[in-house]
Each structure stands twice: as structure tokens, then as C-alpha cells.
Amino acid sequence: MPLPCAPRQAIEANQYFTEYEHVFVRGDVDACFAGGGSDHVIEGTFKVGGQEHFYLETNAACVIPQENDEFLIVSSTQVRTWSSVCRCKQLD
């Protein structure tokens, strides 16, 4: 399987993390559009080149099998707690 090396390639190959526990929502977009609450509606595609976290966190870890059914996990992450949560979910 080819390795996606850019965000667009990962989206097209459906190879990206989609399970978000923290979602921030402000307002009701559908109600705003339906009620005419917006003076301007802009449609189209917007691309931002610098999306480091899109590809950084998904390939910033290495799991190395050890003796006695143990694993050594080497991870370069900004949030150690999140890495622990992900490991626990895999073991559950």
C-alpha cells in the first residue's frame, strides 16, 4: 500500500485519524444560513499549506516488540497523555 505523503493524498486514500474526542462547536451554522443570519456566504475550496499536525502525529511513533509479550514504544509527541490514552485503547 502506498504511503500518503501529503494531506490531500491521505484524504483521497481515506488514511487519516477521524476519532476526535475534543470537538469545539460555536453557534448553529445551519440555523444561521436558514434564517438569513449571514450577510455574506462564501463557497469554494480553501487550502492552507502549513498543516504540520496533519501528518506529524500519525507517523511520529514506533512500536518495537520485546520479550515476554512486551512492547517498547518510542514516540515524539507534544502530548504524552494522549499517547497513553491511544495505547490503552489498543489494549482494551
pLDDT per residue over 14-26, tens digit each? 887 777 676 777 8
* pLDDT for 49: 66
| Residue 72 main-chain phi, psi, to 5 deg | -105, 120
Concatenating the DSSP letter of every residue in 18-63 gives ---S-----S-HHHHHHTT--S----S----S--HHHHHGGGSEEE
Decide if pLDDT at 36 tops 60: yes
Q: 0.85 exceeded by the pTM? A: no
CB 83 within 8 A of CB 73: yes
Q: Residue 67: its pLDDT value, please?
A: 95
C-alpha dihedral sign at 40, 41, 47, 52: positive
Residue 46 backbone dihedrals phi, psi, to 5 degrees: -125, 125
Domain ranges in the chain are: 7-91
Q: What is the pLDDT of residue 50?
A: 61
Range with the largest mean pLDDT of 57-61, 65-69, 70-74, 79-83: 65-69
